[in-house]
Amino acid sequence: MGRSSTTRRLLAGSAAAVALCLLATGCSRPVDGIPTANDEPKVDTVAGLPASDGPSGRKPGATDAKLPVVGSTGGEIDTLAVDTVADVREYWKTAYPDTFDGTAFRPIARLVSYDSRNTDRRVCGQRLAGSANAFYCPRSDTIAWDRGVMLPKLRNTFGQIAPVTVLAHEIGHAVQHRAGLVDEDTPTLVSEQQADCFAGAFFRHAAEGSAPHIRVSTGNGLNTVMGVLSYIRDAPGRTGFADPQAHGTAFDRVSAFQYGFSDGPSRCAEITEKSVAERTTQFRFWKDKQESDLPVEPDNIRAVARSLRKVFGDTGFAPPRVILDSRSCAGAESTEPVSYCVETNTVSVRLPGLRELARPPANGERSSGYGDFAAYAQLASRYTLAVQESAGLSLRGDAAGLRTACLVGAWSGLLVEDPLGQRNPVGKLRIAPGDVDEGVAALLGDDSLIAADLTGSQVPAGFPRVEAFRIGFQQGMSPCASEYGA
Ligand SMILES: [Zn+2]
């Protein structure tokens, strides 16, 4: 997050048009080049499935799948991998012809298990020694995985569902090659997002209980899957992944996963170079120009408050006072580190707690913080409660939590600077792509206010939390009230 070096004039009319749409249905901010899914969010579900926490990974008691694997030692990781490949293959046996004009799905030609600590094997002309990876090689139609380092590390860090996620994604690459959706010139970003989307389609099948060996819960299970997608990267040099910078942000990847999960595999085929490029040129532009941190200081808190006031100004809301202490609020629980008091229309900020959250994650792993944007998004979330209060909306319950995430997303989307003139950024604050990822990480965590109601009660499943934020980010305020009404 950073400040724009020059004051940008708000293009006449744009903010007013956006803001007045808050309560109107069927009115949305026109944003060219931002693909929007046919989302029909339901407040208490995960893309229409019941939201629940529960175990994810291999189903207990399922008979091990049998598939020939070159180099397998039949250990735990290989068993999990084979069960996964068998289930994903089974899924595509039906889904592939349904999606691609009745064409039958050709099984993956070769599966290879290797131990990167100790192998002299080569796949795709590459030495596997020292390559902690899992990948698809289109030339020999091979899926290979490192059972020695990479998959065990993921399993130990995230649980059994992590290797499943990686392999479903790699088979997504096999699907896109079979369907002719990619060739040598396809940018990595496009093929990555398609593969994430295809993985999402499989995970819906698993979440519905239809996969014979693999299960995933729609609450903490999918939270983990989306966390893994944010974490993993393909190694360069395979399936054309030449540019290590071009893998997309966590926000891109999780969005693509959600498209596949919510709308099915035909949505994935619509992820094209054009649709992705329109988004990514913006991201690259901001990254060069605007990447910076905004330390949690009183001055910057005031700048964020001004930005929020400007973005929501034309809704006719009564702007809350933002104060730097935790003043008590009669008849209401306070939330940490920021709380909203309806009675006094005040947002109170506790600086130490907010600074904790603003600490950057170390080496991509979370320490105690998520980064500056995640911290300011907590402030924004409490601030949008004042917007909702003025609009006569309820501040309690899951609908309020999702509306809050959506409005925080809408605010973030209006801080985006766009070289093509498709967006009209509001105020002086700007966000960078890493900022959005901080927001996604916080939304997938269990301690964020971004998708929480007045009492700090967070919407239970991470999927709808991220989805609501994304819808606001991409489409502006208007769906926040219409989709998450009541
Ligand atoms: Zn990939």
pLDDT in tens, 177-208: 999 999 888 888 889 999 999 999 999 999 99
- Tell how far the Cα of 363 is from the centroid of ligand 1, in angstroms: 21
- Tell how far the Cα of 190 is from the centroid of ligand 1, in angstroms: 10
Q: Are residues 143 and 238 in the same domain?
A: yes
Q: Are residues 88 and 128 in the same domain?
A: yes
Contact 271, 259 (CB under 8 A): yes
Pairwise pLDDT comparison (387 vs 34), residue with the higher score = 387
- Tell how far the Cα of 174 is from the centroid of ligand 1, in angstroms: 10
CA 236/CA 13 separation, integer angstroms: 45
Q: Which of 202, 236, 270 is the last residue of a domain?
A: 270
Q: Does some domain include residue 441?
A: yes
Work out whether strand 49-50 and strand 57-58 pair parallel, antiparallel, or are unpaired.
Answer: unpaired
Q: Does some domain include residue 408?
A: yes
Q: Are residues 333 and 185 in the same domain?
A: no
- Tell how far the Cα of 472 is from the centroid of ligand 1, in angstroms: 27
- Tell how far the Cα of 169 is from the centroid of ligand 1, in angstroms: 6
Q: Are residues 314 and 389 in the same domain?
A: yes
Q: Which of 214, 237, 270 is the last residue of a domain?
A: 270
Q: Does some domain include residue 163?
A: yes
- Tell how far the Cα of 193 is from the centroid of ligand 1, in angstroms: 8
The chain-wide mean pLDDT, for the chain, equals 84
Q: Which of 270, 305, 323 is the last residue of a domain?
A: 270
pLDDT in tens, 253-306: 899 999 999 999 999 999 987 777 666 544 544 444 444 678 899 999 999 999
Residue 70 structural domain: 49-270
End-to-end CA distance of the chain: 32
- Tell how far the Cα of 173 is from the centroid of ligand 1, in angstroms: 7
Q: Does some domain include residue 286?
A: no
pLDDT in tens, 310-365: 999 989 999 999 999 877 787 677 899 999 999 999 999 999 999 999 988 765 55
Number of domains in the chain: 2
Q: Are residues 163 and 235 in the same domain?
A: yes
Residues within 5 A (CB) of ion ligand 1: 195, 234
Q: Does some domain include residue 298?
A: yes
CA 121/CA 148 separation, integer angstroms: 14
Q: Are residues 113 and 196 in the same domain?
A: yes
Q: 32 falls in which pLDDT band (50, 70, 90)?
A: very low
- Tell how far the Cα of 240 is from the centroid of ligand 1, in angstroms: 10
Q: Are residues 299 and 401 in the same domain?
A: yes
- Least trusted range by pLDDT, from 23-32, 61-70, 228-237: 23-32
- Tell how far the Cα of 64 is from the centroid of ligand 1, in angstroms: 26
Percent of the chain at pLDDT exceeding 90: 64
- Tell how far the Cα of 143 is from the centroid of ligand 1, in angstroms: 11
Q: Are residues 331 and 416 in the same domain?
A: yes
- Tell how far the Cα of 376 is from the centroid of ligand 1, in angstroms: 32
- Tell how far the Cα of 130 is from the centroid of ligand 1, in angstroms: 19
Q: 422 falls in which pLDDT band (50, 70, 90)?
A: low
- Tell how far the Cα of 323 is from the centroid of ligand 1, in angstroms: 46
The arithmetic mean of pLDDT across residues 120-139, rounded, is 93
How does DSSP assign 326-377, residue by residue? ----TTS---SSEEEETTTTEEEE-HHHHHHHHSPPBTTB-SS---HHHHHH
Q: Does some domain include residue 284?
A: no
Q: Does some domain include residue 281?
A: no
Quick check: 83 pLDDT over 60?
yes
Q: Are residues 65 and 198 in the same domain?
A: yes
- Tell how far the Cα of 383 is from the centroid of ligand 1, in angstroms: 38
Q: Are residues 261 and 182 in the same domain?
A: yes
- Tell how far the Cα of 118 is from the centroid of ligand 1, in angstroms: 24
Q: Does some domain include residue 285?
A: no
- Tell how far the Cα of 137 is from the centroid of ligand 1, in angstroms: 11
- Tell how far the Cα of 88 is from the centroid of ligand 1, in angstroms: 16
Q: Are residues 77 and 163 in the same domain?
A: yes
How does DSSP assign 208-276, residue by residue? TT-SSSEE--TTHHHHHHHHHHHH--PPTTSTT---GGGS--HHHHHHHHHHHHHH-HHHHHT--HHHH
Q: Are residues 98 and 132 in the same domain?
A: yes
- Tell how far the Cα of 476 is from the centroid of ligand 1, in angstroms: 30
- Tell how far the Cα of 51 is from the centroid of ligand 1, in angstroms: 28
